[in-house]
Amino acid sequence: MTVIGRFAPSPTGPLHAGSLVAALASWLDARARRGRWLVRIEDVDTPRCSAQAEAQILQQLAALALQPDEPPERQSSRSALYEAALQRLTDAGLVYPCACTRKEIEGALRAAGVLHERHGERVYPGTCRAGLQGRPARAWRFHTEARGTPAIEWQDRRLGAQQQDVAREVGDFVLQRADGLWAYQLAVVVDDAAQGVTDVVRGEDLADNTARQILLQRALGLPTPTYLHTPLVLAADGQKLSKQNGAAALDTSQPVAALAQAARHLGLPDPPGSALAVRASASTPGASLSDALIWWTAAWEDRWCPTRRSTLA
């Protein structure tokens, strides 16, 4: 089976040091396993996305020689697929309409004595499971207990054995928002299946989403990819480096240096310094970038694809 990996940035700003780690890791994983690598523009949250940011991201990837094997797909053109998936789940009795506002959910949780951390999940209390009581629907939620409440278990290639009780730790999560936009959880599951993605390599901040996505994959009868969640790049305050906390746009004027920083964060060794220095000063600087990527691909294969190595031996 051909390995298919993907990098799925949201075009809300340019790539930064943190997003490059995920991009490089997913590219290396696909290349080390002689697979295909796709780029998907996750612009489902259309008010926050822009064509300018998308163009900048694609230019940055091209400058780093991280080229996809197919033209990029865009979530904004795939609404019919998400609508069909939601209808299948509705027909199966696995989703229901919800009339609750964020303020009402907060109030219900406080009344029940449920507290949450600043960035923690607000576990939906199931207010609308029994019906809307004459109120208009705002969103559509996945009923996490419709088929029992087993804990979801999976094996992350880096983090090891993982488990989450989605009903207890997350609650019935949104598939279509009150503003009519599609939620990330549904879109990513539908897209990965439609594109034949076999291996998801992404940042560790998204690991908490995996159980929800596996639930949806099972409910829709879709295959579950393997997962590898990469270490996060942190800002000075210890939080994840992101566009929201002022992450600087990635400088691609020296592509080998930018990639080397990301590779080190992934625990990969630098290419041999002398050879790299000679090629970097040559009249064809692109050769150094190509050689560096070949070096890191082999290093990734040694670290994360041992079964392939043993098969080839």
Q: Which CATH architecture has domain 4-75+247-312?
A: 3-Layer(aba) Sandwich (3.40)
Strand pairing of 174-176 and 199-203? unpaired
Task: Identify the weakest region by mean pLDDT among 151-165, 178-192, 267-281.
Answer: 267-281
User: Taking the domains of the chain in order of start, what are their residue ranges?
Assistant: 4-75+247-312, 78-232
Sequence-separated (6 or more) residues with CB below 8 Å from residue 34: 3
Q: Which tokens sit at 41?
A: 């523009």
Give the integer Cα–Cα distance in Å for 263 and 265: 5
- Is the pLDDT score of 119 beyond 60? no
CATH number of 78-232: 3.40.50.620
The full DSSP string for 123-172 is ----TTTT--TTPPP-EEEE-TTBTB-PPEEEEETTTEEEEE-HHHHT-S
CB atoms within 10 A of CB 246: 10
- Lowest-confidence pick of 80-89, 105-114, 115-124, 244-253: 115-124
Length of the chain measured in residues = 313
Do the two domains 4-75+247-312 and 78-232 of this chain adopt the same fold? yes
CA dist 195 and 73 (Å) reads 9
CA distances from 216 to 75, 141, 148, 163, 279 (A): 18, 12, 14, 16, 48
At residue 116, does pLDDT exceed 90? no
pLDDT band at 276 (very low <50, low <70, confident <90, very high): low
Structural contact between residues 269 and 298, judged by C-beta atoms closer than 8 angstroms: no
C-alpha dihedral sign at 291, 292, 293, 294:
positive
| Bridge partners, 174 (sequence order) | 141
Q: % helix / strand / coil in the chain, to the nearest 5?
A: 45, 15, 40
- Paired sense of beta strands 152-156 and 160-164, if any: antiparallel
Least confident of 139-153, 190-204, 212-226, 254-268: 139-153
Rounded average pLDDT over 249-256: 92
| CB neighbours of residue 313 within 10 Å | 5
Query: How many CB atoms are closer than 10 A to CB 88?
Result: 14
State how far the Cα of 302 lies from the Cα of 285, in Å rounded to an integer: 27
pLDDT greater at residue 34 or residue 273: 34
Rounded CA-CA distance 122/172 in Å is 10
Token pair in block for residue 61: 């990837």
| CA 231 – CA 218 distance, rounded (Å) | 27
How far is residue 303 CA from its own chain's centroid? 22
pLDDT for the residue 121: 66
How crowded is the C-beta side of 90, counted as CA atoms within 13 Å? 12
At residue 117, the pLDDT reads 54
pLDDT on residue 246: 66
How much is the mean pLDDT over the chain? 89
Identify whether the C-beta of residue 23 lies closer than 8 Å to the C-beta of residue 54: no
Q: Tens of pLDDT along 302-312?
A: 999 876 554 44
